[in-house]
Structure 1
Amino acid sequence: MKLWYKQSANNWNEALPLGDGHLGAMVYGNVRNEIVSLNNEDIWYRGPADRNNPDSSKYLNKVRKLLMKQKVTQAQELMKLSMFGTPRDQSHYEFMGELFIDQIDVENDEVKAYQRDLNLDKAIASVQYQINDIEYERSYYISKKYHALVIKYQSSKPNKLNLNLQLGREKRFSDQVNKISDNSIIMSASAGGRNGTHFKVGCSLIADAGTVETIGETIVGRNLSSATILLTSDTNYSQKDGDLDCQKNLNKLSAVDWEFETKNHIATYQKLFNRVALQIDESKIDEIPTDKRLEQVKNGQTDLHLLQLYFDYGRYLLISSSQPGGLPANLQGIWSENTNPIWGSKFTININMQMNYWMSGPCDLSEMEEPLFDLLDNMRPNGRITAKKMYGARGFTAHHNTDGFFDTAPQSHTIGAAIWPMTVPWLCTHIFEHYLFSNDKDFLIKNYPIMKEAALFYEDYLFEYNGHLVTGPSVSPENRYRLADGTQGNVCLSPTIDNQILRYFFSCCIKSAKIVNDSSDFSQKVQEMKSKLPETKIGKHGQVQEWLEDYDEVEPGHRHISPLFGLFPGNEINQDKTPELINAAKVTIKRRLENGSYLSHESRNDAINSWTKTGFVGGKRTGWSSAWLVNFFARLHDGDKAYEELTGMLKNSTLNNLFDDHPPFQIDGNFGATNGICEMLLQSQNDYIELLPALPSAWNTGKFSGLRARDNIKFDVTWKNTKIESVEVHGEPDSNLNLVIAKEHMIDNQEFKQNILLDKSGYQAIKFN
């Protein structure tokens, strides 16, 4: 349950993350010159803006006619003029600053027995080391109750701690640092741009011995035996004209019993983290530091325990970066080291943020998904403006990014991504999936109006073409095709992913309408639209066709495998009903992998520099795209391929602190891989529940507890030599479920396919002997 190291972090990508969903920190663990990088989910550049291109709806039909005539180049040039946002970019997320803690009179070469770790079971980071005959220990955590970073320094001998504390923001982006009292300072700063978020960061030092005073902008502690450092922040994100209460918050923190609060912190966190447990390896290899174990994997060794740790780390990161009442996890969760991070560290909603939350249902962390629905609801006012100005439509829409101010206009000048109004229905499917996993009807009733308004947009947006209702202008993110005359294009009409998303979304709407007893004609209208969408086709290579026409791909190895949305996270491609599409999906993946590659570790800096300039990457397997492949292979019941892809992620796209490396760091790969492991062990998308549907041969023996299927059914399962030994089922009293176990996991080698009825307490145990 620990990430641990024998040295401090050399850079931000080796630091250890802490968070409570609102406040984030990255702990370096330096002995003499400690750095803690700080984040606050509210710190965004510029502020709200209407960026909708006023000429969009005027030229919409002309763009569509050009696409119908396959005049792709002309259509794209007109779109660049009339449909790109003005200005081109949304607001971006910014880091908050740094806390510097200097331990005076200590030389690094004197340090012995150093260890730095992150305890996933307690959400506490620690540092231990010895200098001469004195043992020093530190602990770091973020209190969710108080939104405060709490750092405790201790020494084994009294009066041996001498500390200097300072606050900064890349040395030049803070407005001022003021002394508040003898033991407290406050840094004031603001995110860039007009109306950017203003914020303050406060820090106090509390000691039980020695002296503490503030000199200039530095808190000075001398001859201390132990010290507690408290840090909090406040912003005007929610109330632009409100006062920042940082000093008041600091005063409150000084009166807290932090020994008691530490226990409360652990208990609060464990209520979420301990819902699920996984064991696929029983070996005791904790004596090997995490970075060394990762290095061994990169050199070809097997380490099942590291994969198990990676699974738990994903759950830890979601709990730490997304909490009810706040913003959802962004492209980097909550952790960013820059004032202008790559891709703005925004909410990328053409797969990346959706991937962040795939695991919330199976890992029984539904509360962590609430910020996603709040964001979706907050996008509606801006989305109505975008729908009207850009498409002359009712309802609301958005494109492939949004930000902390819920911007819905197109982001960037990347033609292969920017004009894609399919993100809202994809996000809305999360509403229905949340209901399926939780059985929370009140939740569905509350959020059903969002789904209805999203569907209203498509009543006006979809148009007749060759006997179908089609989308357009659109893209298959972020891929390009080639026409017969050699012309290359991104923009098209009704790519396969659009139709699959809309079928999935419309099905969710129809089922939701029945559950909430909607007596209007809404279901009928949605059903009519659904029936006229183009069907998923098989192309000339035997692949799932990516576009409305069977074009050649410019990049057959492209990282977005968009035409397989219907395999995962959708379910229209499945063995029961569409075996021919299952075979086509296998061909699609095979062609992608044969023509793509992992980024080599040596090339990551070149890749980052390139992507900073271009905004996108071509035929390479990035961290998140590998995670998507894990989920694809799981749905295809190919456990060994899913395991191979997971191992590939550790080898090729994982940093020493186990962050997913796009590159650079992007958290969706962590979250997507965690969900992929869930899909390998438990699936429930086809009206029955299947245990161990994609168990790799390497996971010969193991067990899990608490994994959740749709209908809020939770399972505890043990297996040995690939054969299931016991199953415990927890659900609603007197409920029933269809349970399927493949014959290869049964002791008698006979498929298990039964209806299971839970007892009055909602429990059933099944033994296999």
Structure 2
Amino acid sequence: MKARFIILLPLISFQLFAQENNFDLWYRFPAQEWEEALPVGNGRLGGMIFGTIEHERISLNEETIWSFPFKPVTATSKTRNLIKKQRELIFEGKYKEADELKVQDLDIPKNAKIIEEQIEGMYTGRSIYKPLADLYLHFGSTESIPYDYRRDLDIENAVASVTYKIDDVTYRREVIASYPDQAIVVRLTASKPGKISFSSKMTRRVDVKDDMYRYDAELGAKVESIKTPPAPIIKVLGDDHFSFSGKADPEGVSYVAHFKLVNEGGKKIPTVGGFKVENADAVTIFITAATDYNYEEPNLAAAQQLEKVSSYLYGEIKKRHIADYHKLYKRVYIELEKSRNSTMSTDRRVTAFQLGIKDSRVAPDTPRDNDLYALYFQYSRYLMIASSRKGTLPPALQGIWNDSLLPPWFGHYTSDINIEMNYWPAEVGNLSECHNVLLDFVFQHIDKAKKVAEISYGTRGMAFNSMSPWGPRATYSKWNGFTGWLAQHFWEHYAYTLDNEFLENKAYPFIKEAALFYVDHLVEYPERGYLVSGPEYSPENKYYLKEDPTKEGRHISMGTTMSRAIAYEVLSNAVKASEILEVDKDLRKEFIVARDNLSPYQIGKHGQLQEWLEDFEEVYPGHRHLSHLYGLFPGSEITKENNPEIFEAARKSVERRLEHNGGWTGWSRAWIIGLAARLQDGEMAREQLELLLERTTLHNLFDTHPRRGGNTTCFQIEGNMGATAGIAEMLMQSHEGFIHLLPAKPKNWRKGRITGLRARGAFEVDVNWDNGVLKGVNILSKKGGLCKLKYADKIIEFETDSGKEYSFNGKLQ
């Protein structure tokens, strides 16, 4: 990274700008790599802005451009036999045999009734998220040295910009991704007329060689398997309009993008695959795109969108864009103590963390850069709004941003952390509408998941085992917790909103099917009397048996701690929902019996909460996943008041992970921040937040996952979302039936305020503190009802009316 700065310095005379807006990401130099560019998005269309003076590159995405072979999925009842036999082996202590057993190894009688059925609309195969294109704007070099350069992402208004001066002319570029107008719009201006000249060119990746620095496990055969996508077709449709169309790859989605240029002054000359503009006063470029994922005629859809948006002036589009964005973004405001670092460019602030820059003359408890945490918090909310809007797909591993034909882990959806963590800050961060994107997507596939449960497992309810952009894609899995984890998201949306219509029509129907699966899938552990699920693995750790001299890692067992925690939560929520709606009295009894007979949590030889029912030896005691701590966070079963012994065992598990270098990925570190907050350990949470910035945060604040043995890194968006949820948990919690104020505030967060956080019970909470202590709190009740507040050792409760606000001082008076 340093080398890049040195190369650029002779070209541009940079000045250290004071940061005018607290919620800007800004830089004194252009992006050299994709991971340094700045993201814009409207939920469906995404762009990464590089900001080079001589040429601008905008890396474009459309969220439905995926390669996919569309292989039909066949469910088979043979998996029931596999489950039965594996259970028998595990109960006999034959874990190795159970782990290695496959359906084809089974001795199934020839006269046995076997059900095999292709599930309509359900497909499997390797789905890969693909880029749309790169738009290049070539401005050329100048004799004079550019100066006063600034690259900026204003997350208050969702506008990316680049400004610089050449001689006495100020040049400015703005890029917005408008949700109301379903377009990306680029605006080029200069402070003097006739100064804008450039040519444009569209291009698209054809191989993955340039991306090798991101990879590790994907090297070799997977790289070789990537097919060269069909060459895009460029059609000149007028002197100001062209289209760019193609396919994700030979097996995949077809797309069409339309580009239109409107110049003010000067002249434009159409070229193959772009435009040439000479001596214009200002230029606006409109970009729309559509695919056959959503449209029977994507070309017509993109053309109509372009015709509509290009009929407006840029000022109108920008005003409408900002107004729409503010409806979501402006709900929450956070301010933490500023320092001199607050005026520095974002890259320098992050670098200060990464280099461990400290001054021995400063007291150890002096805040490093608390204001950067506030920026990070709001940036993650920006990313959620930019990647998750009504009518779009849920964001995947990289949200909606990707420039590679082979993104890490194919850029797809992973069901044992990524999908769920992406939405951890949605409700508490007052972005419920964004959360609905996930809930609406999975809800429409209930019937497919019910068919999977019926055929593959022989149960009622549903089994939603994994996910692609087309819905569930696996008929059997050793990880059955995805369905229940999704059910938690439905309950959380209700808990934060108290939307009874949603509870009746969506949340309870989904939770009920998840609960029914557990009722039927749970089995009594011989001679122990409690219920366990399985066979299953604990994502994604392995254990080994003491008696195995090879210490070979094994996956499956019965009754993993995570599955037990999810089952308890699903069954409990099904009970509560049925009581609220006054339905399914008899089913409720089944839910209660199953829940009350689940296996107890186990404490192991290290004093830790066991990850498995048995106190196995861990292959990776510092594993990145913290699955067995689900009940502490994001779940809510494990609290100090409910079960102090298990609470302390959970604390020991967190400490043990950290002692063995756990949390080494960004999203894992983010999870630990949330866990530390639930442990009410503000210092641990602060330490982990600092490490997140030091080790797994890029200069554009993207979260990362180490690759190639720790020698490089790649972007994963869930770490941003998880860390932001953790910051919210540090300042306010509501999972225990009361609103807990500043439960895990670090000592050196001496002063600050946050407004608009959502609490369960449909409350909005404003909190401010000074000199480390609460100064005031304001509660807005959205639905009325009883509100309980806790600060330090004091709890108060009061009745509220819908729409009214209630204010208290630092003593809750």
Measure how far apart 1:283 and its partner are.
3.5
Residue of structure 1 in register with 2:113 after alignment: none
| CA–CA distance in structure 2, aligned partners of residues 90 and 51 of structure 1 | 13
| CA–CA distance in structure 1, aligned partners of residues 783 and 184 of structure 2 | 42
Runs of 5+ consecutive residues of structure 1 not aligned to the other structure: 412-417, 598-619, 743-750
Measure how far apart 1:234 and its partner are.
0.8
From 156, 159, 182, the counterpart of 2:239:
182
Measure how far apart 1:715 and its partner are.
1.5
Residue of structure 1 in register with 2:311 after alignment: 255
Measure how far apart 1:643 and its partner are.
0.7
Instruction: Map 1:355-754; keep pairs closer than 5 Å.
Output: 355-399=421-465, 401-409=466-474, 419-447=478-506, 448-466=508-526, 467-486=529-548, 487-597=552-662, 621-663=664-706, 664-732=714-782, 735-742=785-792, 751-754=793-796
| CA–CA distance in structure 1, aligned partners of residues 423 and 727 of structure 2 | 14
- Which amino acid letter does the alignment assign opposite residue 98 of structure 2? A
Query: Is the contact made by 1:691 and 1:741 (CA closer than 8 Å) also made in structure 2?
Result: yes
Measure how far apart 1:380 and its partner are.
2.2
Query: Is the contact made by 2:247 and 2:255 (CA closer than 8 Å) also made in structure 1?
Result: yes
Measure how far apart 1:50 and its partner are.
2.9
Q: CA 1:365–1:82 in 2, change beyond 3 Å: closer, same or farther?
A: farther
SS in 1 for 2:129: coil
Query: Is the contact made by 2:68 and 2:125 (CA closer than 8 Å) also made in structure 1?
Result: no
Query: Is the contact made by 1:57 and 1:390 (CA closer than 8 Å) also made in structure 2?
Result: yes
Give CA-to-partner distance per residue, 1:542-599, whole Å, 9 cap, x none.
11011111111111111111111111111221111100111111111111111125xx
Residue of structure 2 in register with 1:613 after alignment: none
Residue of structure 2 in register with 1:309 after alignment: 375
Q: CA 1:341–1:389 in 2, change beyond 3 Å: closer, same or farther?
A: farther
Deviates more, 1:279-288 or 1:266-275: 279-288
Residue of structure 1 in register with 2:88 after alignment: 65
| CA–CA distance in structure 2, aligned partners of residues 108 and 528 of structure 1 | 80
Residue of structure 2 in register with 1:346 after alignment: 412
Q: CA 1:72–1:89 in 2, change beyond 3 Å: closer, same or farther?
A: farther
From 58, 64, 68, the counterpart of 1:36:
58
| CA–CA distance in structure 1, aligned partners of residues 298 and 234 of structure 2 | 20
Runs of 4+ residues over 6 Å off in structure 1: 85-88
Q: CA 1:216–1:682 in 2, change beyond 3 Å: closer, same or farther?
A: same
Deviates more, 1:6-15 or 1:447-456: 447-456
Query: Is the contact made by 1:200 and 1:244 (CA closer than 8 Å) also made in structure 2?
Result: no
| CA–CA distance in structure 2, aligned partners of residues 638 and 206 of structure 1 | 56
Residue of structure 2 in register with 1:764 after alignment: 806
Q: CA 1:26–1:357 in 2, change beyond 3 Å: closer, same or farther?
A: same
Q: CA 1:60–1:299 in 2, change beyond 3 Å: closer, same or farther?
A: same
Deviates more, 1:378-387 or 1:275-284: 378-387
| CA–CA distance in structure 1, aligned partners of residues 75 and 661 of structure 2 | 36
Residue of structure 2 in register with 1:116 after alignment: 151
Residue 47 of structure 2 is aligned to residue 25 of structure 1: yes
Residue of structure 1 in register with 2:17 after alignment: none
| CA–CA distance in structure 2, aligned partners of residues 73 and 222 of structure 1 | 72
Give CA-to-partner distance per residue, 1:115-160, whole Å, 9 cap, x none.
1000010000010011222211111111111110011001122112
SS in 2 for 1:359: coil
| CA–CA distance in structure 2, aligned partners of residues 61 and 735 of structure 1 | 48
| CA–CA distance in structure 2, aligned partners of residues 459 and 637 of structure 1 | 34
Give CA-to-partner distance per residue, 1:437-477, whole Å, 9 cap, x none.
11111111121212222223223322222222221120011
Query: Is the contact made by 1:235 and 1:244 (CA closer than 8 Å) also made in structure 2?
Result: no
Query: Is the contact made by 2:535 and 2:556 (CA closer than 8 Å) also made in structure 1?
Result: yes
Q: CA 1:87–1:73 in 2, change beyond 3 Å: closer, same or farther?
A: farther
Give CA-to-partner distance per residue, 1:462-494, whole Å, 9 cap, x none.
222222222112001111111132253111111
Residue 392 of structure 2 is aligned to residue 326 of structure 1: yes
Query: Is the contact made by 1:5 and 1:115 (CA closer than 8 Å) also made in structure 2?
Result: yes
SS in 2 for 1:536: coil
SS in 1 for 2:173: strand
| CA–CA distance in structure 2, aligned partners of residues 49 and 474 of structure 1 | 25
Measure how far apart 1:249 and its partner are.
2.4
Q: CA 1:314–1:154 in 2, change beyond 3 Å: closer, same or farther?
A: same
SS in 1 for 2:798: strand
Task: State the percentage of identical aligned residues.
Answer: 36
Instruction: Map 1:143-154; keep pairs closer than 5 Å.
Output: 143-154=178-189
| CA–CA distance in structure 2, aligned partners of residues 188 and 456 of structure 1 | 46
| CA–CA distance in structure 2, aligned partners of residues 33 and 761 of structure 1 | 52
- Which amino acid letter does the alignment assign opposite residue 398 of structure 2? Q
| CA–CA distance in structure 2, aligned partners of residues 526 and 568 of structure 1 | 23
SS in 1 for 2:613: coil
Residue of structure 1 in register with 2:223 after alignment: none
Instruction: Map 1:83-232; keep pairs closer than 5 Å.
Output: 89-104=125-140, 106-107=141-142, 110-170=145-205, 173=229, 174-194=231-251, 196-232=252-288
Query: Is the contact made by 1:628 and 1:673 (CA closer than 8 Å) also made in structure 2?
Result: yes
Query: Is the contact made by 2:396 and 2:419 (CA closer than 8 Å) also made in structure 1?
Result: yes
| CA–CA distance in structure 2, aligned partners of residues 670 and 269 of structure 1 | 19
| CA–CA distance in structure 2, aligned partners of residues 280 and 306 of structure 1 | 8
How many pairs align?
729
SS in 2 for 1:110: coil
Query: Is the contact made by 1:90 and 1:403 (CA closer than 8 Å) also made in structure 2?
Result: no
TM-score, length-scaled by structure 1:
0.91
SS in 2 for 1:207: strand
| CA–CA distance in structure 2, aligned partners of residues 432 and 92 of structure 1 | 31
Measure how far apart 1:3 and its partner are.
0.3
Give CA-to-partner distance per residue, 1:717-745, whole Å, 9 cap, x none.
21111121111111147533111110xxx
Measure how far apart 1:295 and its partner are.
0.6
Measure how far apart 1:531 and its partner are.
1.8
Measure how far apart 1:193 and its partner are.
4.6
Give CA-to-partner distance per residue, 1:17-49, whole Å, 9 cap, x none.
001111111101111221111111111212543
Query: Is the contact made by 2:253 and 2:293 (CA closer than 8 Å) also made in structure 1?
Result: yes
Residue of structure 1 in register with 2:294 after alignment: 238
| CA–CA distance in structure 1, aligned partners of residues 608 and 242 of structure 2 | 62
Residue of structure 2 in register with 1:46 after alignment: 68
| CA–CA distance in structure 2, aligned partners of residues 698 and 240 of structure 1 | 57
Runs of 5+ consecutive residues of structure 2 not aligned to the other structure: 1-22, 107-117, 207-227, 358-367, 707-713
Deviates more, 1:648-657 or 1:173-182: 173-182
| CA–CA distance in structure 1, aligned partners of residues 205 and 473 of structure 2 | 31
Q: CA 1:565–1:108 in 2, change beyond 3 Å: closer, same or farther?
A: farther
SS in 1 for 2:176: strand
Q: CA 1:254–1:659 in 2, change beyond 3 Å: closer, same or farther?
A: same
Q: CA 1:93–1:389 in 2, change beyond 3 Å: closer, same or farther?
A: farther
| CA–CA distance in structure 2, aligned partners of residues 296 and 7 of structure 1 | 17
Deviates more, 1:114-123 or 1:298-307: 298-307
- Which amino acid letter does the alignment assign opposite residue 461 of structure 2? G
Q: CA 1:658–1:630 in 2, change beyond 3 Å: closer, same or farther?
A: same
